Amino acid sequence: MSQLRPPALKHLRLDRLLANMGYGSRREVEALARAGKIVLDGEAIHEGDQHIYLRENLSQRMLVDGEALDPPPGMALMLHKPLGVTCSHKEAGPLVYGLLPARWRRRDPAISTVGRLDKETSGLLLLTDDGALLHRIISPRAQIAKRYLVHVATALKGDEAQRFAKGDLMLEGEDTPLLPAEFQPLSAMTGYLTLHEGRYHQVRRMFAAIGNHVEALHRDRIGGLDLPNELAPGQYQLLDANTLACVFDRG
Ligand code: URA
């Protein structure tokens, strides 16, 4: 028998699949099917118990009430996180999940942010409902590079790159030094900082540790994936497999 057989395709009952995607209860999905409102490859599916294979192109093949199906489970997207929204499911105030379609907030498995950006940080944020993918990206072993554009309050001294590169900087309240990080000054008050780990408020605390203060922070790259210029703050874009693979590029 061949060793290279592709993994078996997952399949789910139609009523379960659409209920888990936030389209309503299983009973409501069953009613949609009976009314001929769920169409696959041009043919109405009348039975809620019909099994549907989770192929990547399912959204192009299935219509629900005349509209293309939402992305099936196993989705990943990038969001241009604006300032002032929080990466949380439950805190008060505007949340990143409020920037996505309302139905997506009822999905199971839920969509979660891959790590977090502070409320007052903007830029590239990944979200997924795939727990294994999320852990592959945030795992400390992966050491995926994240690049930040930093604007500081006081003019750079010129030794920041050297201090961050040494791998001996300690943050207040911690007992293990930071991994080496790369800093590239761009002007007297700005520069790119590239990290290979993700500690709480890391960039802000790194500059505090060397006597400066971060005024503005924006993430523009994760691994080899850049935030596209045309993606305005608050907008998101689904990631296909090839674009997602860029996250794991080492450059
Ligand atoms: N470091 C910070 O201080 N804040 C962020 O949002 C990300 C990295």
- For residues 36-41, give the mean pLDDT: 97
0.75 surpassed by pTM = yes
What CATH number corresponds to the domain at position 102? 3.30.70.580
Query: 85 and 129: one domain?
Result: yes
For residue 1, the model assigns a pLDDT of 44
Cis amide bond preceding 109, omega within 30 = yes
Degrees to nearest 5, angle at CA 64 with 63 and 66: 70
Q: Could you tell me how many residues make up the chain?
A: 251
Query: 22 and 89: one domain?
Result: no
| Mean pLDDT, the chain, whole residue set | 95
Res. 56 pLDDT band, cuts 50 70 90: confident
Please check the confidence at residue 3 and state whether its pLDDT lies above 80: no
What CATH number corresponds to the domain at position 30? 3.10.290.10
Long-range interactions of 26-34: CB distance < 8 A, separation 24+: 32/64, 32/65
Query: 111 and 173: one domain?
Result: no
Query: 160 and 115: one domain?
Result: no
Question: Is any ligand 1 atom within 6 A of the Cβ of residue 202?
Answer: yes
Residue 198 lies in a domain: yes
Res. 4 pLDDT band, cuts 50 70 90: low
Bridge partners of 152, per DSSP, are: 214
Query: 105 and 205: one domain?
Result: no
Res. 7 pLDDT band, cuts 50 70 90: low
Residues 180-234 have pLDDT tens digits of 999 999 999 999 999 999 999 999 999 999 999 999 999 999 999 999 999 999 9
The atom of ligand 1 lying closest to the CA of 116 is 6
Total domains in the fold of the chain: 3
Share of the chain above pLDDT 70, in %: 97
For residue 2, the model assigns a pLDDT of 44
Domain span at residue 126 reads 76-140+225-248
Question: Is any ligand 1 atom within 6 A of the Cβ of residue 181?
Answer: no
Determine the Cα–Cα distance for residues 210 and 200; give it in Å rounded to an integer. Answer: 17
Place of tokens 């691994």: 223
Residues 101-148 have pLDDT tens digits of 999 999 999 999 999 999 999 999 999 999 999 999 999 999 999 999
> How far does residue 148's CA lie from ligand 1's centre (Å)?
8
φ, ψ for residue 184 (rounded to 5)? -125, 105
For residue 77, the model assigns a pLDDT of 98
Choose which residue among 121, 152, 219 to substitute to test ligand 1 binding: the one with the highest number of ligand atoms within 8 A of its C-beta: 121
Query: 45 and 108: one domain?
Result: no
Residues 84-107 have pLDDT tens digits of 999 999 889 999 999 999 999 999
Query: 208 and 154: one domain?
Result: yes
Res. 10 pLDDT band, cuts 50 70 90: confident
Query: 136 and 159: one domain?
Result: no
Query: 113 and 178: one domain?
Result: no
